Amino acid sequence: MFRVWVADRATGKESHITVEADDKHDAMTKVQDGNTLVADAVEVSEPASTPNDRLAVVIDGARRVLGRFGVDPSPTEIAGRASELLQQFEAVPSANDLAWAVLTDMGIRARSHGDLKDVFDAQARFLATEGRDHRDAQRRSYENELKHLAGSGVDRVEILANDGCAECARQNGERWAVQDALAQMPLPCSGCTNTGVYGSPHGFCRCCYVAVFDD
Ligand SMILES: [Zn+2]
Ligand SMILES: [Zn+2]
């Protein structure tokens, strides 16, 4: 258990966060995101001894993990899922396992292509940060985006390349009928070489579709 001192990059407000980590470096990495400056980490003896106390720390960690991907589940939802995992595995889950379970629930619950696009996008980024293969989740995100666009009456889209990789640049400016794009899935670019996005070991295509209204 480590106590990490952080400051909000925008406001300068300082606080500390308690995390479970293997060592000081791991602890500092775990609390890092775009808005947070990390000053120092100090190992502290585990203050929480009962499973429910430890679960509270894990819930806090999972909320932070999900917050990085723009996901903000209700306190009731995340606490309920944490208790389920605790009972199911008879062990306190890790913050990442809890965050993943919540994301999976959201995917099952999602009723619109727009919601599914967001859930799969969060899953893709989550997988990338864990050094796992994000590409299937990313493909599903683009697929749901196209279906969402089609459902909104969009017939044609243009591809915009964002990441500067040569493979992605090849399709930049291409215009596709939405139904053709759904059949052939030009995004994510299969040969993308843009590794390291969110720590991903695989190319993480940042191309996007833009609706075309006049042509
Ligand atoms: Zn691309
Ligand atoms: Zn690329």
Q: 109-137, pLDDT tens digit by residue?
A: 999 999 999 999 999 999 998 899 999 99
C-alpha 108 to ligand 1 mean position (Å): 27
Res. 32: pLDDT tops 90: no
Q: Is the pLDDT of residue 46 over 70?
A: no
Q: How far, in Å, from the CA of 191 to the mean position of ligand 2? A: 7
- Predicted TM-score of the model (pTM): 0.75
Question: Cα(169) to centroid of ligand 1, in Å?
Answer: 7
Q: Give the mean pLDDT of 6-22.
A: 80
Q: Do residues 150 and 122 touch, judged by C-beta distance below 8 A? A: no
Question: How many other CB atoms are found less than 10 A from the CB of residue 211?
Answer: 13
28/141 Cα distance (integer angstroms): 31
Ligand 1 center from residue 28 Cα (angstroms): 32
List the beta bridge partners of residue 36: 8
Task: Please tell me the number of the ligand nearest to residue 189's CA.
Answer: 1
